[in-house]
């Protein structure tokens, strides 16, 4: 690996040994976006486990295999640490040009969080931890909490495009769109009775449900019937809203198109999408090159769409439920790793910084939760603290959902 400063001069020593400390200086850029309670949230979930050493958390080849084994066939095909708007990022414009272009354009608006300790190496458990902040079943994810706490007038509080959403008991406040966006065909259903008839049926159903709710003999039944009323109400609001969504199949691009439509039409306060890319690279680590390239090409487009639409109230959180082990296995892939990275951009984010850090062995270092600076006298950053910070950044009191977690506020201060 060589270091090729592009925007900001930095030595390899600075970049690899004092990485976080060297760049975690407060950005002079103004923080954009609405007040927390008015912010919308988009969580981009990278299911499968990305390898942060390919982009966010460069390591010396002596410590971690990273992206290097495939590289080097020609001079241009090499990963180097470059600094984009204050962010040191491992860049290889030949293999991962999308990464380079994204950070050239938006590095100064982006916060990278390294050394995020998820504490699990099993997909379902790790997904639960990174999306909900808890290892426990049946707790709602960030988008469900934010969307149900205050929908901001949107017809649906949250929208799950990924399928991996965990609405738990908040299901009545949100919409599942289907793996291929099937909801679009329901919102535009030619067989549906005319509005006057449809409304009369909806009123009848609400009336009957409310009768049953009043007659309910247990709190559980009363709650279910209350949720049924809420669901009928949301469905009616969605019809009245005239929400139009593209039904274009299952892919990251398709999900982003649907997310864009939801944002443009102010139809949901919180959105969960997935990249649908093959990140779980037990047998083919080289896939991570293409995955990162595609991820950042699409994030770039998404960011441009947000800018073009004037959507400066949208906070985008990009997370993966786990990282990858530093060394490749006998299949040429890597195993699950309980430490990962995250990325934030948009509303409320004070960009151009790397927060947190890992050591040479890709173990999470301690962190000062207020500044985000590595502090080996403190504990590493945990998923619940990260999630609590996101909730707070969206104007939700995290103590109601994650009472034990000190919010990680550094990205927003």
Partner 1 sequence: MPLLVLALLACGTDPPAPMPDAPGAVDATHLYRAAIAMRGAPPSAQDLAAYRADPTQLEPILRSYLSDPGFAAAVRDQHAETLKLRGHIVGKVPATGPLDGVSSAQLDIDIDEMPLYLASDIVTSGRPYTELLTTELTFTNEATSIVHGLSYDPDGPTWQPAPWTDGRPAAGILSDTAILQRYQSSLSNHHRGRAAVVLSSVMCSEVLESTLDVVPPQIGEPSQDIVRTDPSCSGCHAALDPVASAFSGFDPYILRTDILDAYRAGCPEGAPCYPLDFFDTEASGDWAAFDMPAPAWKGVPVDGLAGLGQALAADPDFAECTARRFHGWHTGRDPWAVPDAVAQELADVLVEHSFDARELVVASLLHEDFATAPRRPIRPEEMARSVHAITGYRWTRDLNGAVLDLPTSSRVGYRTLLGGTDGWDVLEPARTPTPSAVLAREALAVRAGIHAVKRARDRAPAERTLFTVAAPGPMSDDLARKQLVVLHELVLAMTLDDDDPAIDDALELLRALEAVDDAETAWAWVLSALLQHDRLVLP
Q: Which of residues 162-201 bind partner 1 (CB under 8 A)?
A: 162-164, 166-172, 174-180, 182-183, 186-187, 189, 191-194, 196-198, 200-201
Q: Any contact of residue 244 with partner 1 (CB under 8 A)?
A: no
73: Cβ contacts below 8 Å, ≥ 6 apart:
none
Nearer to partner 1, 31 or 248 (CB): 248
Q: Summarize the chain as % helix, strand, coil (round to 5).
A: 40, 15, 45
Q: Contacting partner 1 (CB under 8 A), which of 77, 211, 404, 413?
A: 211
Helix (H) or strand (E) holding 295: helix 287-308
Nearest to 283 by CA among 340, 337, 329: 329
Q: Integer distance in angstroms from the first to the last C-alpha of the chain?
A: 33
Nearer to partner 1, 6 or 123 (CB): 123
Q: Any contact of residue 290 with partner 1 (CB under 8 A)?
A: no
Please, which of residues 144-163 interact with partner 1 by CB under 8 A?
A: 156, 162-163
Nearer to partner 1, 190 or 310 (CB): 190
Total chain residues near partner 1 (CB under 8 A) = 90
Nearer to partner 1, 83 or 161 (CB): 161
CB of 218 to partner 1, least distance (A): 6
Q: Residue 162 and residue 181: Cα distance in Å, rounded?
A: 10
Stretch that binds partner 1, among 98-106, 215-223, 387-395, 401-409 (CB under 8 A): 215-223
Q: Residue 48 and residue 276: Cα distance in Å, rounded?
A: 9
Per the CB < 8 A criterion, the answer to whether 398 and 382 are in contact is no
Q: Any contact of residue 253 with partner 1 (CB under 8 A)?
A: no
Nearer to partner 1, 35 or 215 (CB): 215
Stretch that binds partner 1, among 103-111, 131-139, 252-260, 347-355 (CB under 8 A): 131-139
Cα 37 versus chain centre, distance = 19
Q: Any contact of residue 34 with partner 1 (CB under 8 A)?
A: no
What is the per-residue burial (b if ≥16 Cβ within 10 Å, else e) of 256-275? bbbbbbbbeebbbbbbbbbb
């Amino acid at each position: 690996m060589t270091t090729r400063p592009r925007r900001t001069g930095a030595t390899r020593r600075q970049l690899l040994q004092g990485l976080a400390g060297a760049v975690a200086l407060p950005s002079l850029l103004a923080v954009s976006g609405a007040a927390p309670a008015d912010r919308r949230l988009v969580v981009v979930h990278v299911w499968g486990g990305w390898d942060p050493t390919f982009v966010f958390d460069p390591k010396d080849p002596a410590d971690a295999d990273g992206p290097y084994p495939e590289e080097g066939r020609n001079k241009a095909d090499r990963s180097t640490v470059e600094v984009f708007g204050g962010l040191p990022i491992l860049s290889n414009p030949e293999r991962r040009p999308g990464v380079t272009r994204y950070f050239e354009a938006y590095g100064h608006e982006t916060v990278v969080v390294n050394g995020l300790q998820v504490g699990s190496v099993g997909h379902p458990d790790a997904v639960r931890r990174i999306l909900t902040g808890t290892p426990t079943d049946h707790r709602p994810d960030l988008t469900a909490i934010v969307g149900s706490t205050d929908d901001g007038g949107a017809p649906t509080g949250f929208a799950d495009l990924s399928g991996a959403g965990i609405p738990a008991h908040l299901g009545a406040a949100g919409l599942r769109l289907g793996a291929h966006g099937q909801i679009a065909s329901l919102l535009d259903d030619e067989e549906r009775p005319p509005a006057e008839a449809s409304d009369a049926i909806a009123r009848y159903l609400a009336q009957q449900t409310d009768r049953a709710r009043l007659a309910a003999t247990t709190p559980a039944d009363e709650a279910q019937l209350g949720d049924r009323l809420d669901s009928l109400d949301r469905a009616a609001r969605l019809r009245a809203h005239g929400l139009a969504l593209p039904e274009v199949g299952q892919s990251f691009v398709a999900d982003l198109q649907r997310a864009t439509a939801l944002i443009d039409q102010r139809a949901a306060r919180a959105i969960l999408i997935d990249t649908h890319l093959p990140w779980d690279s037990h047998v083919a680590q080289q896939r991570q090159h293409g995955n990162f390239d595609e991820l950042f090409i699409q994030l770039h487009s998404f960011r441009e769409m947000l800018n073009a639409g004037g959507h400066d109230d949208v906070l985008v959180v990009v997370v993966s439920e786990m990282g990858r082990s530093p060394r490749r296995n006998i299949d040429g892939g890597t195993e699950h790793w309980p430490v990962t990275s995250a990325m934030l951009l948009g509303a409320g984010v004070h960009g151009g910084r790397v927060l947190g850090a890992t050591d040479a062995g890709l173990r999470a270092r301690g962190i000062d939760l207020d500044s985000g600076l590595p502090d080996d006298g403190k504990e590493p950053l945990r998923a619940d603290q990260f999630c609590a910070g996101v909730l707070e950044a969206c104007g939700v009191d995290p103590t109601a959902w994650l009472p034990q977690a000190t919010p990680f506020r550094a990205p927003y201060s």
